[in-house]
Amino acid sequence: MNQNEFVLLVTPFKDKVFRLAKRLLVSTEEAEDATQEVLVKLWSKNGNLSGYSSVEAFAMTMTKNYCLDQLKSKRTGNLKIVHTNYVDKEPGLEKKMEDLDSLNWVGKIMDKLPVQQRLIIQMRDIEQYEFEEIAKILDMNESAIRVALSRARKTIRDYMTETHNYGIS
């Protein structure tokens, strides 16, 4: 596989690799390093990627594993997921403030979720992966992913309801 073929192969999903790394590692620099590391590992396969049914799923699995290894090596237990690619079409200032507040609350709530639920929320709700792809990446069955996603969403919904209804009875 030459360089042009490789670039054509990874271009559709390299940004997803970066975003997943950024969600797990938080630091942009560390996410860039992780992305580069994953792409170098893919390149080093030197054309032996045809054996994989989905190179993208393989790359996402590599990214997840690399990032989790990095976090373990640092002995940090504070994973953070921040939704930074939110765009709104010029709502009013009050609406912007409400949205920002809600987004901050969701981020805080997501920080409290188990790592697996964070990954599933990230892949399904933010990256828009199908359940089958998430199952391959996380090495889980689809029904377990659906259950974990449902529980994570319910936790977020319950905390948000509690937060917004605070003091109202």
- Which of the listed CATH numbers 1.20.120.1200, 3.10.20.740, 1.10.1740.10, 3.50.50.60 matches domain 1-78? 1.10.1740.10
**Which CATH code fits 90-169?**
1.10.10.10
The tens digit of pLDDT for each residue in 134-153 reads 999 999 999 999 999 999 99
Q: Are 51 and 34 in contact (CB under 8 A)?
A: no
Over the stretch 86-129, which tens digit does the pLDDT of each residue have?
554 566 777 777 777 777 888 788 888 999 999 999 899 888 89
Flag whether pLDDT at 84 surpasses 70. no
Distances (CA, A) of 149 to 36, 56, 80, 135: 29, 21, 17, 12
Nearest-angstrom CA–CA distance, 44 and 51: 15
Which pTM value belongs to this model? 0.55
Q: How far is CA 115 from CA 22, 24, 137, in A?
A: 14, 9, 14
